[in-house]
């Protein structure tokens, strides 16, 4: 069974078509019912498919997950905002550490430029 092509196997022009299709894809918006009726999404990446310490994918090296893209549920309200913030922070730190490990010359550099 042949596998589907990945972005890495496509020619530049083909990749640009895929990106344009994703960026230009329109989702119709007809309004909302306000914060009191707001809900969170369900589904997402199974928790056993990522490292719980770093939120890194077990399948794709260098890919980290956060927030509602993960298959986790909580009560409506601030809990989900906290989940998004905490997992985003953790995944960001892990990704930054991975990048620093790959580029040790940059690890000690300050972001400030004068």
Per-residue pLDDT tens digits for 24-77: 888 888 888 887 777 766 778 999 999 999 999 999 988 999 988 888 877 766
Inside any domain, residue 24: no
Inside any domain, residue 51: yes
pTM of the model: 0.53
**Domains held by the chain: number:** 1
β-strand pairing of 50-51 with 56-57: antiparallel
Range of the domain at 58: 35-107
DSSP classification of residue 9: G
Inside any domain, residue 45: yes
Inside any domain, residue 11: no
For residue 25, the surrounding DSSP H or E stretch is none
- Separation between Cα atoms, residue 111 and residue 114, nearest integer Å: 10
- Separation between Cα atoms, residue 114 and residue 110, nearest integer Å: 11
Inside any domain, residue 23: no
Inside any domain, residue 96: yes
Inside any domain, residue 71: yes
Inside any domain, residue 54: yes
Q: What is the pLDDT of residue 7?
A: 83
């Amino acid at each position: 069974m042949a596998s589907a092509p990945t972005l890495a196997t496509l020619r530049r022009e083909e990749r640009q078509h895929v990106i344009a299709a994703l960026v230009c894809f329109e989702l119709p918006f007809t309004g909302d019912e306000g914060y009191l009726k707001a809900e969170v999404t369900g589904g997402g990446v199974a928790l056993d498919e990522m490292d719980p310490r770093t939120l890194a994918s077990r399948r794709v090296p260098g890919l980290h997950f956060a927030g509602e893209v993960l298959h986790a549920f909580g009560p409506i309200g601030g809990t989900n905002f906290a989940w998004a913030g905490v997992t985003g922070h953790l995944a960001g730190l892990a990704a930054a550490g991975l990048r620093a490990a790959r580029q040790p010359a940059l690890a000690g550099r300050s972001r400030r430029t004068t």
